[in-house]
Amino acid sequence: MKEFENIKKDFPIFTREVNSKKLTYLDSGATAQKPQSVIDAMNDVYTNKNANVHRGTYVLSAETTKLYEDVRIKCKNFLNAYHSDEIIFTKGATEGFNFLANSIAKKYLKPGDEILLTEIEHHANIIPWQMVAKQYQLEIKYIAIDEDFSVDMEDLKRKISNKTKIVSITGESNLSGLLPNVKLIRELVKETCDAIFILDGAQLVPHRKVDVQDLGIDFIVFSGHKLLGPTGIGVVWGKLDLLNELEPVSGGGDMIEEVYFDRATWAPVPHKFEAGTPPYVEAIGLGAAIDYLENITMEKVSNHSDQLRKYGQEIFSDIDKVNVIHTNEEFAGCTFSMHVDNIHATDVSLMLDTYGVAVRAGHHCVQPFHRKLGIDATFRATAYIYNDKDDLDVFKDALVSSIEMLG
């Protein structure tokens, strides 16, 4: 991890203290901090180029439009997509799932069709499907997670059928760090049916090289703010032939070709799915974040995460009263969700904050899985490229002290 030693200097937030302590930020699963290059890229637009994109006949609009559309190319290369027109900008991953659920259900699904999820899905990959299931009389099934917090492949085989029309699963669990074997799951699905395969990449894309062609998936959804980029921007990638068949779910300016008093025709993909003024400054910030990660290389990013995870497993395994929800798979995300006997997770996180340690407490938008485990809440430490072993040591020491004080 030597090459990551000085990376904090690129992130201005790490110059501040919290409660008179050096900031130890371990909440990147909720949102990542931003390097100066991302802040500068957005500030440059607002300071020097700000103008609405598309159809502007003047220099500022042309400059900003080019920067904005260039981000599609960056995303295309980042994901190894087939074409930059397959990149749809959204407000975030949640909006992406709502778009896909509504558009796909309207086009392809009929009463009695089945949607297959897993028990560890984020609410953003559950609730939109629940909403369309109610509207279109669909059934949702959930693939079980075994005692090792891994996907139960035998349960998958039992639940997949020719009624399965949608399979939508996480690429990385935000609770246990599990990295499901997406290619294997995809192959098992293909043996039985031709379901549309969707991947939740919100946690995966910031930490691993994702090749959508190699994975053989149909769609992936991710958000910019977990990827060192700003809030308010996300991406849906989908195969162009599927996108061409889908109808927009939001209407307004910029997604039209022709409008009459009684009808309208849509702009080509990707613009037919991007109604109104897009979050162009946020998209440009996302492009700068991708540049930052590509300069490091995603291989080094994932190696750094793997090394930190192994170290965390070593030092957290023997803390008295602490229970860690973490998969034992060889490769997983650097995510440690924990609960302490007889102490609420919120109390632990509040006490950790007095040491300058930022972790998140709650159900982390995976409430059904917490309920299955019989746990009300956990506190979660998630590391990223700007974290190191010292941060995990600080967290462990603060956790031990907090438990002593609370318990």
Please list the active-site residues: 365
Q: What is the DSSP letter of 47?
A: I
Q: What is the DSSP letter of 147?
A: T
Using CA atoms in the order 194, 174, 279, 262, what is the torsion angle rounded to 10 degrees? Answer: 40
Give, for 393, the enclosing helix (H) or strand (E).
helix 389-406
3-state secondary structure 271-327: HHHCCCCCCHHHHHHHHHHHHHHHHHCHHHHHHHHHHHHHHHHHHHCCCCCEEEECC
- Kind of pairing between the strands at 335-340 and 322-325: antiparallel
Q: What is the DSSP letter of 202?
A: T
State yes or no: cis peptide before 270, omega within 30 of 0: yes
> What whole-number distance in Å separates Cα of residue 304 and Cα of residue 333?
11
> What would the two tokens of residue 345 be?
């997770």
In the chain, the N- to C-terminal Cα span, in Å, equals 35
| Those residues with Cβ within 8 angstroms of residue 369's Cβ, 6 or more apart along the chain or in another chain | 119, 120, 145, 175
Vertex 354 angle, CA 351 and 360, to 5°: 55
Contact in structure between 124 and 93 (CB atoms under 8 Å): yes
For 256, phi and psi rounded to 5 degrees? -110, 160
| Those residues with Cβ within 8 angstroms of residue 23's Cβ, 6 or more apart along the chain or in another chain | 13, 14, 16, 17, 356, 358
Angle between helices 298-316 and 389-406 (to 10 degrees): 30
